[in-house]
Amino acid sequence: MSRPITPRMRRRIKREFSMEKATVRIGKGGVTQQLLEEIDRRLEKNEIVKVKILKSALVERKAKEIASKVAEKTEASLVEVRGHTFILYRRKKPKKK
C-alpha cells in the first residue's frame, strides 16, 4: 500500500472531488484485471481517481468491500467511500533518469 495520506490531505481531496463526476465505473462484470489496469493508468496520470459502483455490481458485495479490494490491488489509499462512489489516491512514482 502507498504511503498513508494525512488528515489534511484527505480533507483537501474530499473537498476538491466531491462535485466531480466519477471517471471509472464498475459494472456487472465486477472488478476485472482490465478494470484494475485502467484505474492504475489513471492513478499514474492524475494521482486521484473517483470510481462509481453501479447497482448491478453490488449484488454479492458491499461498496466498502469492493473499494478496499480495489485500493489493495492498485496499491492506492482509499480516501472516502460515499454511497456507491469512492475516491482513490496514490502518489506518482518518481521518474527514473
Tens digits of per-residue pLDDT, 30-84?
999 999 999 999 999 999 999 999 999 888 889 999 999 999 999 999 999 999 9
- Whether residue 10 has pLDDT greater than 70: yes
Q: What angle do CA 93, 45, 76 make, to 5 degrees?
A: 60
- Whether residue 3 has pLDDT greater than 70: no
- Using the CB atoms, write b or e for 10-34: b if 16+ within 10 Å: beebeeebeeeebebebeeebbeee
Query: HSE-up of 7 (CA within 13 Å, CB side)?
Result: 0
Cβ neighbours of residue 2 under 8 Å, at least 6 residues apart? 75, 76, 77, 89, 90, 91
Q: Can you list the domains of the chain with their CATH numbers?
A: 7-89 (3.30.110.60)
